[in-house]
Chain A
Amino acid sequence: MVTLRLEGVGASYGGREVLSGISTPVLEGGQVVALLGPNAAGKSTLFRRIFGLLRGPGEVRIEGATVPRPVAYMPQDNGARPVLTVYEAVLLARMQGRRLKVDPEDHAEVERVMGLLSIGHLRARNVGDLSGGQRQMVGAAQALVQNPQILLMDEPTSALDLSRQIGLLTLLRRLAREQGLLIVVAIHDLGHALRFADACLVIEGGRLAASGPTSEVITPEMLRRVFDVDARVEECSRGRLQLIVD
């Protein structure tokens, strides 16, 4: 089982410290972990630091990985408009660092992932012509097609409609359970976090404000302290936790 653990991790951009002293418990494969925090808290920076795009103090410990590149990272959409079809864009993510020749198993993998995400019908469309939500689904496919054991996703649901948000998060949860993936997903909708995440990391001002099982982390006290919101967390009639903003 793959595990991820941060020990005193920090990062800075051009001399300005953006993250410092982030230590987490051991995050295990098979879980969905929500990365929460206000805007500019350092969530994207933490992803870049874990993925190895930024250097800094502390250790990112990944253990139990059985593939050479265990981590995939889905950044936020940057609005690039390449003249590439969706199929090519997903294949491109798969082929990175490999030979120029595309093998049948590469195609099989691209087809499988596009099928999982229900974007097979978009295959001939240009990425640049897609809507924001469609592009986000392509981004998710590009991350999944790399067959990672740890998947870092930076706000993968921000442009999706409600049904697709739930569809994607349900899929991620299923992949975590079935394939032992560790999925860390930055998300703003705390209701979704309550519903889909096994554990949460909360970042505020570049520091870890809370971490642990979701029901212990998302509390009225944390919401007031970190998000400056008065809210309750209550069980609904079916016994699920939900967030009620007062």
Chain B
Amino acid sequence: MTDIGAAEGRDFYRLLVLRRQAILAALTVLLVLSFCADLALGPARYGLGQVVGALLSPGSVDDQLRVILWDIRMPVALTAVIVGASLSIAGLQMQTILNNPLASPFTLGISAGAGFGAALALAFGVALFPFAVDYVIPINAFLMAMLTSLAIYGLSLRRGVSSETIVLLGIALVFIFNALMSLIQFFASQQAVAAVVFWTMGSLTKATWPKVWISVAILAAAAPLLARRGWSLTSMRLGDAKAESMGVNLRTLRLEVLVIVSLLASVSVSFVGTIGFIGLVGPHVARMLLGEDQRFLLPGAALSGALILSLGSILSKIIIPGTVIPIGIVTSIVGIPFFLYLILSRRSQSW
């Protein structure tokens, strides 16, 4: 057997890597621009120059601008970026470990679980963890989301349970939680119903600095842990048998990753409500742009998720001036046609 051209392999690979680095750089630039635009827009509009000035030297601008940017808009804009990245990473790794393109915090019932937990607090004042009065709603949402993740994990440990079964269970959980939410709304006061409905629409306006720091901390802890597993996670997309044959311990890896992404998804959802779209679409967009290699796909998914949610945050402010439409609605209405376009316009396979 002879072959010509094998020696050009590394040149081919170098180009591949360069292209991916360029795409990551472009996504980063877009994200920075979007973030600044997000800060500039609102009831009082500022120029990008003013925003950049206030960001780089907060002391040099007037108090009003500083307060609006740093205390009011910054937590919201940062939350969009961090939650977008977190949900997208969570969705990516759920798709990876379950080897299923439909997996995401939303389709596995984690968001619905969080919604149910929040509804318990909003409608009846039930606190699942009755010690932090200020954070009853997010803590309820977080606990139910983690419980849902654990249920999914418990099932995945059973012998003979395929990843398809797990996704089906997730969808069943979505229906169960939705029914329970309806039940709560049926019995709750009108005011409480409005609060529950608003919560489930997903909104960045609940953002505060402490929540930002918590989300940042979780993301900063999770991302390196997942990045370390880059080769193993990539090989899972070759199928279980192949990954095992390369020496990947599937059981340990699945457990580790599921715990990490559950935490990421639960914290995000409990702070901003249900934003179903990001965890599904962020990773798919990144995969189309960057391929399957997790050394590029992981940061790519984080960037694309952050970018989508940041753009969503901008749109939610400018569609109807003076009104901030809940972000979950915006990302779905604007994002899903875009996503369909991406999927249907591609000639080669994207999953």
Which residues from chain A sit less than 8 Å from chain B, CB to CB? 14, 51, 53, 69, 72-76, 78-85, 87-89, 91-93, 95-98, 100, 102, 104, 107-108, 110-112, 114-121, 123-124, 126-129, 139, 142-143, 146, 167, 170-171
Contact = CB atoms under 8 A, between A and B. Distances in A.
B3 to A, nearest CB: 4
Q: Which of A83, A91, A118 has its CB near the most chain B CB atoms (within 10 A)?
A: A83
Nearest to A127: B238
Contact of A96 (B6, B10, B231, B293): B231
A97 B2 CA distance: 30
B1 A96 contact: no
A110 B287 CA distance: 24
Nearest to A89: B238
A111 B247 contact: no
Given A83-B350, A84-B237, A96-B246, A120 B5 contact: yes
B13 to A, nearest CB: 6
A83 B351 contact: yes
Contact of A114 (B6, B159, B228): B6
Interface string B208-244: 0000000000000000000110111011011111101
Contacts of A111: 6-7, 9-10
Contacts of B132: none
B344 interface: no
Contact of B1 (A78, A112, A116, A121): A116
Nearest to A152: B245
Given A92-B246, A171-B1, A107 B239 contact: no
B9 A87 contact: yes
5 contacts: A83-B350, A96-B248, A97-B247, A121-B4, A167-B1
A139 to B, nearest CB: 8
Given A14-B160, A107-B9, A111-B10, A93 B246 contact: yes
B13 A91 contact: yes
A129 B5 CA distance: 20
Given A79-B239, A96-B231, A115-B3, A123 B9 contact: yes
B68 interface: no
B79 to A, nearest CB: 30
Contacts of A53: 244
B231 A115 contact: no
Contact of A118 (B1, B241, B242): B1
Interface residues of B, number: 43
B60 interface: no
Nearest to B288: A83
Contacts of A74: 245
Contacts of B348: 126, 129
Given A87-B12, A91-B13, A80 B238 contact: yes
Contacts of A83: 237, 287, 291-292, 349-351
B292 A120 contact: no
B66 interface: no
B168 interface: no
Contacts of A95: 231
Interface string B312-351: 0000000000000000000000000000000000001111
B16 interface: yes
Contact of A120 (B3, B99, B295): B3
B231 A117 contact: no
